[in-house]
Structure 1
Amino acid sequence: MEKIQQYLEHTLLSPTAGYGDYDRLVAEARQYAFLGVCVPPYWVKKVKRDLRDTAIQVVTVIGFPLGYQRTETKLDEVKYALRDGADELDVVLNLSAVKSGAWDWVKIELVRLAESIHQAEKIFKLILETAYLNDDELQRLCEMCGAYGVDYAKTSTGFAPKGAEIECVRKMRSWLPAHVGIKASGGICTFTQAKAFIEAGAERIGTSSGVAIVEESLKQTNT
């Protein structure tokens, strides 16, 4: 396997994290050369500025963590996140619309979000929150991701009763077209877990334990 940090989005979405915590996140991202960092919209401008001389991607969340905002509200969040320098946008699916069977409404929201994000030549990830989906819903959403402009399907916000699961990622990989990637997130804390999710089909790992994962991988490499 390539260096594990090339798969990792080093994440800090705690509601109580402050300035020093984001300084530490940036320093760790530089030290370990993570693929990206995932931060709340409030911190995008600072983190983008602090990483401006690197290739590290700045990822932020939209409609977080519940996803049931109006589409127009999400589009406004996208606009300001792009203005502040976000490279990738992880948008929470409207689960309430899914559970209501409002599939046409879900389609329209995905199309509008994809258009807004892709016009800026940025990456659109859709957070499915798989803990709340049955297989039929998950398969249909995977098919919609492929049809309506989603670049990555993401498993979880980290705020649901459970996060990423290996078998779920395997199902997603079988249902998603090849051009749509998978970001596994939620409860991934070790190198062994991260490696297993990558082997199951994930191209990205979202984790707040990025440093520990890289350190564990280095120890295994050196033994």
Structure 2
Amino acid sequence: MAAYTIDQLAQLIDHTNLKADTKPEAIKQLCQEAKDYHFKMVAVNQVQSELCAQELADTDIHVGAAIAFPLGQTSIAAKVFETQDAIAKGAQEIDYVINLTQAKAGNLAYIKEEMAALVSVCRQAQVICKVIFETAYLEKEEIIAIATIAKEVKPDFIKTSTGFAATGARAEDVRLMKETVGDAVKVKAAGGIRDLETLITMVQNGAERIGTSAGIAIIEEARFYLTRHRTNQIKI
């Protein structure tokens, strides 16, 4: 069990706006909120990387670009280019969606090739690489197989979901992913995490990063909890 201050909780959160119809003003607001609450990262569509980099200059808050989002149905070469372009425009973290067509076909060699290519680009640029599984579409055995590849290739994180599928993060999937990769890779839970209780559940099951558009509500709920219980830490 670990104890978290408000700032430590905020540092678990990737503050997210991945809506297709988001205006530049909303992205600027997202960045200001990230500064106000000291979230770890802003998670945005790749094309918004440059704007976020400008808004978050001279802060320790990372810009996170979503690659091949949300379907993952582009070639390895396309994902590599999109990643390189995002990094050139200021992205410090990359969250890419695997090719689910190949995963469901059992073509694990393709999944490994794709992962190795994206991890290599990120390693060369010294940015963080996260691999989105989209667990809503995967069976238990498929999750284990892809996580086993990750244990070998070693991205920084494996991640449950985009938030665009029928279901998002599930505690059992987070636990399975973490049990498979052990300490070799971290796990990010995302999709449907909208309150403090769910965040705590995900962390208890092995998540070390949380992707959510409800970060402000979660932190305010945590503040209320700390005030009510007259403490400055939440035990997880």
Q: Answer yes or no: same fold by TM over 0.5.
A: yes
1:24 to 2:29 alignment: yes
Partner of 1:100: 105
**Match 1:35 to one of 35, 40, 50:** 40
Match of 1:53 in 2: 58
| 1:203 counterpart SS class | strand
Shift of residue 42 of structure 1? Answer: 1.4
Q: Answer whether contact 1:153 1:181 (CA < 8 A) is retained.
A: yes
Corresponding residue number in structure 2 for 1:89:
94
Please report how far the alpha carbon of residue 177 of structure 1 lies from its aligned counterpart in structure 2 after TM superposition: 2.7
| Contact 2:154/2:184 (<8 A) preserved | no
The aligned amino acid for 2:121 is: S
Gaps spanning 5+ residues in structure 2: where? 229-236
CA distance in structure 1 between the aligned counterparts of 2:31 and 2:118, rounded to whole angstroms: 28
Residues 145, 151 of structure 1: 8 Å contact kept: no
- Residue 233 of structure 2 is matched in structure 1 by none
Specify the code of the residue in structure 2 equivalent to 1:176. V
Query: Separation in 1 of the partners of 2:42 and 2:63?
Result: 5
Question: For the Cα contact (< 8 Å) 1:58–1:87, is it kept in 2?
Answer: yes
- Report the equivalent of 1:142: 147
TM-score (norm 1): 0.98
**5+ residue gaps, structure 1:** none
**Structure 1 consecutive aligned stretches of length 4 or more whose deviation exceeds 2 Å:** none
SS of alignment partner, residue 150 of structure 1: coil
Amino acid in the other structure paired with 1:115: S
**Residue in 1 aligned with 2:234?**
none
- Which stretch has the larger CA shift, 174-183 or 157-166? 174-183
Larger mean Cα displacement after TM superposition, 71-80 or 105-114: 105-114
Q: Which structure 2 residues correspond to residues 1-223 of structure 1 after superposition, within 5 A?
A: 1-2=3-4, 3=6, 4-223=9-228
1:140-166 Cα deviation digits (max 9, x unpaired): 111111111311010000011100011
Conserved? CA contact 1:26–1:47, under 8 Å: yes
Kept in 1: contact 2:111–2:146 (CA 8 A): no
User: TM-score, normalized by length of structure 2?
Assistant: 0.92
Once the two structures are TM-superposed, the CA of residue 168 in structure 1 deviates from its matched residue by 1.2
Q: C-alpha distance in 1, partners of 2:19/2:226?
A: 31
Deviations 1:117-146, CA, capped at 9 Å, x for gaps: 110011110000000111111001111111
